[in-house]
A and B are shown apart, each in its own frame.
Chain A
Amino acid sequence: MWEALQYDFMQHALLAIVLGSIACGLLGSIVVVNRMTFLAGGISHFAYGGVGLGVFLGWPLLPTTLAFTVGGALILAKWTQQNRENSDRIVSLLWAAGMAFGVLMMDLTPGYQVDLGSYLFGSILAIPASDLFWMAGIDCFILLLVLGGYKPLLAVSYDHEYAELTKVPVKWFYPLVLVLLACGVVILIRLVGIILVLALLTIPPSMLEKNASSLQQLMMGSTLLCFAMCLIGLIISYYGDTNTSAAIVGVAIAAYLTKTLLEFATNRFSPKC
């Protein structure tokens, strides 16, 4: 595999893994501790509408998808905050609407179209340098907001009611997290695609949540774990000649199942006092 590293596409893939892992680690931790997995799924699938729009209008796909998804995240935040009891239905609606809109836009686009399956299932080996710049820029934005706003994020995530009492601006928390999620999803689409983004966001922090003693530790651990999973998936797909995104998610799921089985075996067979 070392010989493959001399090629641009492999170097781009490794860089994309680093950038994607940062987004996964930070945002995935926030999603998992706040139990926002379904929301994250809704946003990731809604993003397909942005891909379709970009194709139809002939605009650059990544920035168009970013703008479209952030817009959807803000609508979702406003709508679900006003209708908390119906939030799951709203998420489902947006989920389906984004996908349907994307497919329609592509159908209406005349002529030859790019491989849109690469946005559904990722194409880590076909990331151009221009996309890497966008990904790096989005990562910087995520890092700035998450690290800079860490204390209010921690306060609201840990105890929403008490945070409200101590005048933490809780009403901004929800829209902010959804916007950050939208940004993270756009980065991860190139890595594993819309369909598999949710797995990469949630599996690493879910594995570490019980053992982490702080949110900082969870974020750092999830970043490293995500990086390891992506790298192993890349290596497996290289030697096995398989789809890289599926290999990455397969590694993640295998790791999660292994940890779960080990915990079960430890609890079942450990001596009890």
Chain B
Amino acid sequence: MKEVELRRVQFGYDPKKIVLEKIDLAIPNKDLVAVIGPNGGGKSTLFRLILGLLKPLQGEVFIEGQNPQIRTDLVGYVPQNSKSNHHFPIRVGDVVALGSDESRRWGWGFSREVRERTDQVLEEVGLSDFKKRSWQALSGGERQRVLIARAMMSKPRLLLLDEPSANLDLQSKTKLYDLLHRVNENTTVLVSTHDLGLVPHIAKSVATVNHFLHYHPKPEITDLALHVMCGSDVDHHCPLPEMTTLAAAS
């Protein structure tokens, strides 16, 4: 059983305007997939389908054989750092604790179990001393690691990161991708990125999304991937072995 499976998925926010078409994807357990593609190509939509926030017009989405709309705890999500409210008055420990189930329950404070789990994930991301620090005082790289810790609170099987390295300097990016490799030891990771030059160094496989999807199980950007990115008229609906052959030939 694959970690992530999309079978003949088709989606559009308007049924007359399809955003993602004929999507077939099978990601093995503990893969680290770089999801690349132009802006507006459907990367975020693909993520939202995997998260269960959207229902496909056709086809099915499975996470470990289960419906992500029901088993929301299987998937952890790290949004773009630029979308977070940088001035919100909140401590790092509370940001992380909001990744637990308790965030939707009545009550003033978080339980001891949640606080202990918060300490654990902060240690995993290398921020064990940051629990009481103010969110407003963090750098971009530190914020991103806190958001990763938040996503890991539910012990997800799959972690999705939406352009985590946007607006980070090279040193912060390096630390971030080192962290993702550590997380990947136990968790399947999908990370969308525009850092094409870093893809061979950070990923085990590449998925290119631009209305269609091309998945290549090696950390390289093939000519077919570039065709998909550029939206050129290539028949993308071909079985995986043929795509692999084409990729090897390129």
Contact = CB atoms under 8 A, between A and B. Distances in A.
B77 interface: yes
Contact of B107 (A150, A163, A209): A150
B136 A149 contact: no
A215 B95 CA distance: 12
B107 A166 contact: no
A165 interface: yes
B212 to A, nearest CB: 26
Contacts of B236: none
A208 to B, nearest CB: 8
Contacts of B107: 148, 150-151
Contacts, number: 83
Contact of A166 (B72, B79, B91): B72
Interface in B92-141: 94-95, 98-99, 101-108, 110, 132, 134, 136
Nearest to B136: A210
B95 to A, nearest CB: 7
Interface in B39-95: 51, 53, 72, 77, 79, 83-85, 87-91, 94-95
Interface in A137-172: 147-152, 154-155, 157-159, 161-169
Q: How large is the interface on B (under 10, 10 to 19, 20 to 34, 35 or more residues)?
A: 20 to 34
A237 to B, nearest CB: 32
A214 B77 contact: no
Contact of B108 (A147, A162, A212, A213): A147
Interface residues of A, number: 29
Contacts of A151: 98, 102-108, 110
A81 interface: no
A37 to B, nearest CB: 15
Contact of B103 (A33, A168, A209, A213): A168
Contacts of B95: 158
Instruction: Tell which of B94, B95, B103 has the most Cβ of chain A within 10 Å.
Output: B103
A57 B161 CA distance: 59
Interface string A190-224: 00000000000000000001101111011000000
A118 B88 CA distance: 36
Contacts of B79: 159, 161-162
Contacts of B90: 154, 158, 213-215
Contacts of A159: 79, 84-85, 98
A259 to B, nearest CB: 16
Given A154-B98, A209-B87, A213-B134, A166 B104 contact: yes
A167 B72 contact: yes
A5 to B, nearest CB: 34
B85 A168 contact: no
Nearest to B106: A148
A180 B101 CA distance: 25
Interface string A94-107: 00000000000000
Contacts of B108: 147-148, 150-151
A217 B89 contact: yes
Contacts of B83: 161
A209 B89 contact: yes
Contact of B72 (A154, A165, A209, A210): A165
A180 B110 CA distance: 23
Given A157-B88, A161-B79, A168 B53 contact: no
A70 B107 CA distance: 24
Contact of B106 (A33, A149, A164): A149
Given A150-B107, A167-B72, A210-B136, 19 more contacts: A33-B89, A148-B107, A150-B108, A152-B105, A152-B106, A154-B94, A155-B98, A158-B90, A159-B79, A159-B98, A162-B98, A165-B72, A166-B104, A168-B103, A210-B87, A214-B89, A214-B90, A214-B94, A217-B89
28 contacts: A33-B88, A147-B108, A148-B107, A148-B108, A151-B98, A151-B104, A151-B107, A151-B110, A152-B103, A152-B105, A155-B104, A158-B85, A158-B88, A158-B90, A159-B79, A159-B84, A161-B79, A161-B83, A162-B77, A162-B150, A165-B51, A166-B101, A166-B103, A167-B72, A209-B87, A213-B132, A213-B136, A214-B94
Q: When A and B form their complex, which 3 residue pairs have the shortest distance between CB atoms, in order from nearest?
A: A212-B89, A213-B134, A155-B103
Interface of B: 51, 53, 72, 77, 79, 83-85, 87-91, 94-95, 98-99, 101-108, 110, 132, 134, 136, 150
